[in-house]
Amino acid sequence: CMVRHYKFNVVLKNTTRMCSTKPIVTVNGRYPGPTLVAREDDTILVKVVNHVKYNVSIHWHGIRQIRTGWADGPAYITQCPIQPGQSYVYNFTVTGQRGTLWWHAHILWLRATVHGAIVILPKRDVPYPFPKPHKEEIVILGEWWKSDVEAVINEALKSGMAPNVSDAHTINGHPGPVSGCPSQGYTLPVRPGKTYMLRIINAALNEELFFKIAAHQLTVVEVDATYVKPFKTDTIVIAPGQTTNVLVTTHRGGGKYMVAASPFMDAPILVDNVTATAFIHYTGSLTSAVPTLTSTPLKNATSVATKFISALRSLNSKQYPANVPLKIDHSLLFTVGLGINPCPTCVNGSRVVASINNVTFVMPKISLLQAHFFNIGGVFTSDFPGNPPVPFNFTSTQVTNFATKQGTKLYRLAYNDTVQLVLQDTGMITPENHPIHLHGFNFFEVGRGLGNFNPETDPKNFNLVDPVERNTVGVPSGGWTAIRFRADNPGVWFMHCHLEVHTTWGLKMAFVVDNGKGPNESVLPPPSDLPKC
Ligand code: C2O
């Protein structure tokens, strides 16, 4: 295996989109940022140098970070942020993983523009479990705000209300033509009769997305860097944090075809409704060719999303088995949803908050991993509730019990414990989708349903044979999803909604996994350049 060195200079860069220019925070002046390429089992060293006025940290979303929690990146969870003028070397090994993942800033809302792809190739001489594509392309979906993104969230926090939605979605950094601003957008050149693999990443802050290419079928082969049983679809659904690899075989002919991304949100909330567009362009066709257009499903097309999500199965081959935990040590039920807390200085005298099991997570002042490793008291408590505080009908709006408790509470697991976690959306204010991301692990999505989870009947229908394995799962609006994982990675691991606004409001918690007794079952000491708070 190799050691791969990267240097990330975090710098401001004037960038023009939608006919206006603003300085944005970038890595190496690029938006989207540079791609990390490695092979399974390689070690990656990324030196991040902070040249901007904000505190910065970078997360390697989906990298398991076995025993290297110090390199995981979420600010105040596994490290103090890198302060202006400082640097930090993230040092980790990609153990037993291959596929598409991504990296992003993990502090404030900087990930709006600070993100990029991670491509992990299989070990040398190990083929893909599908025919080798002619070419591979990265497709990063995102959101663009005309105003300063930090100002958007700071204004919302001050007022206690929801932040402004973005002004456009983007495909590889470009919205395509939007009203009042003609621009080409991103174009992918293709040759006829060839198969391409698109590595699609949803880097948007706040929206699940539909993705579609006019007159071309997509064959899904991988999600979140785990292989799935291939299936064909014309539309994919992808939540913030998730990645999806698809194969696209081009026609014999030529022409130009629209690529489109638009929001999927089956809740009555504000979303940016602008469809991002790009093109695939067959070589030899005129650039002026009239493109074949397409339209994506409506934003509340739940049936399209459900059909896509239900089709996902892990490959579960001899080489890539699905090791679903069958015996469960911790059976947990977490509610995820929004609430309202008093706020005398806010516009309505109250603020929107979010919680898990009625706990609105409060960020600590030093990192939780440091507090855990060095046994520093007073930073967190280990009493995160394994079940909701009171039994209630989760999916009907209730005017009582809006208020949440605040705390920096963690749930403690012994090394190698197995966990079944049911994530139940609540309708305290309104039911909403919640893409929940767990750091440090992959999990299996063993079940999913609408309404309230029924502990008597629903587990009978769990798929314990070939459930999809991933690191970010969409909890359906007004419904639930059940995941299972094995706590075989010691450290402190963040779990949160990957809609950035919900994370900001407190829809987050962390698991602490104690060291095991074996020689390779403990957190290693921190590197000497670990940032100080
Ligand atoms: Cu992709 Cu905690 O993040």
Short-list 422, 391, 350, CA closest to 159: 350
Short-list 367, 439, 368, CA closest to 63: 439
Query: Predicted ipTM?
Result: 0.99
pLDDT tens digit sequence for 302-361: 999 999 999 999 999 999 999 999 999 999 999 998 888 999 999 999 999 999 999 999
C-alpha of residue 222 to centroid of ligand 1, in Å: 19
Closest atom of ligand 1 to CA, residue 104: 1
**C-beta 174 within 6 A of ligand 1:** no
C-alpha of residue 317 to centroid of ligand 1, in Å: 29
**C-beta 409 within 6 A of ligand 1:** no
User: What is the spatial distance between Cα 162 and Cα 87, in angstroms, rounded to a whole number?
Assistant: 34
Band of residue 286 on the pLDDT scale cut at 50, 70, 90: confident
User: What is the spatial distance between Cα 148 and Cα 281, in angstroms, rounded to a whole number?
Assistant: 33
pLDDT for the residue numbered 431: 76
Closest CA to ligand 1's atom 3:
61
**C-beta 496 within 6 A of ligand 1:** yes
**C-beta 106 within 6 A of ligand 1:** yes
C-alpha of residue 416 to centroid of ligand 1, in Å: 23
Domains of the chain: 1-124 (2.60.40.420), 130-314 (2.60.40.420), 330-513 (2.60.40.420)
pLDDT for the residue numbered 407: 97
Closest atom of ligand 1 to CA, residue 111: 1
**C-beta 325 within 6 A of ligand 1:** no
**C-beta 111 within 6 A of ligand 1:** no
Q: Which residue has the higher pLDDT, 402 or 84?
A: 84
pLDDT tens digit sequence for 19-72: 999 999 999 999 999 999 999 999 999 999 999 999 999 999 999 999 999 999
Arithmetic mean of pLDDT over the chain: 94
Closest atom of ligand 1 to CA, residue 241: 1
Find all residues with CB under 8 Å of 526, minimum gap 6, and list them: 70, 370, 373
Residue 115 has pLDDT above 80, yes or no: yes
C-alpha of residue 73 to centroid of ligand 1, in Å: 9
Band of residue 284 on the pLDDT scale cut at 50, 70, 90: confident
Cross-sheet strand order for the sheet of 472-475: 410-413, 508-513, 491-497, 434-438, 472-475
**C-beta 61 within 6 A of ligand 1:** yes
pLDDT tens digit sequence for 372-386: 999 999 999 999 999
Q: List 135's β-bridge partners, or say none.
A: 196
**C-beta 494 within 6 A of ligand 1:** yes
pLDDT for the residue numbered 78: 98
C-alpha of residue 494 to centroid of ligand 1, in Å: 8
**C-beta 439 within 6 A of ligand 1:** yes
C-alpha of residue 348 to centroid of ligand 1, in Å: 31
Closest atom of ligand 1 to CA, residue 503: 2
Closest atom of ligand 1 to CA, residue 74: 2
**C-beta 104 within 6 A of ligand 1:** yes
- φ and ψ of 229, to 5 deg: -65, 120
C-alpha of residue 60 to centroid of ligand 1, in Å: 8
pLDDT for the residue numbered 271: 85
pLDDT tens digit sequence for 432-458: 889 999 999 999 999 999 988 999 999
User: What is the spatial distance between Cα 136 and Cα 190, in angstroms, rounded to a whole number?
Assistant: 11
C-alpha of residue 256 to centroid of ligand 1, in Å: 35
Residue 427 has pLDDT above 80, yes or no: no
Peptide bond just before 133 cis, omega within 30 deg? no
- pLDDT more than 90, % of the chain: 88
- Whole-model pTM: value is 0.97
Which of these ranges, 380-394, 402-416, 478-492, 511-525, has the smallest mean pLDDT?
380-394
Q: Mean pLDDT over residues 498-508, rounded?
A: 96
Short-list 139, 119, 12, CA closest to 60: 119
pLDDT for the residue numbered 399: 46
Closest atom of ligand 1 to CA, residue 73: 2
C-alpha of residue 106 to centroid of ligand 1, in Å: 7
Closest atom of ligand 1 to CA, residue 472: 1
Band of residue 403 on the pLDDT scale cut at 50, 70, 90: confident
Q: List 288's β-bridge partners, or say none.
A: none
User: What is the spatial distance between Cα 311 and Cα 222, in angstroms, rounded to a whole number?
Assistant: 12
Closest atom of ligand 1 to CA, residue 496: 2
- In the chain, % helix, strand, coil (3-state, to 5) comes to 10, 40, 50
Contact by Cβ (8 Å): 445, 502: no
Residue 175 has pLDDT above 80, yes or no: yes
**C-beta 508 within 6 A of ligand 1:** no
Q: Tokens 């390199």 identify what position? A: 71
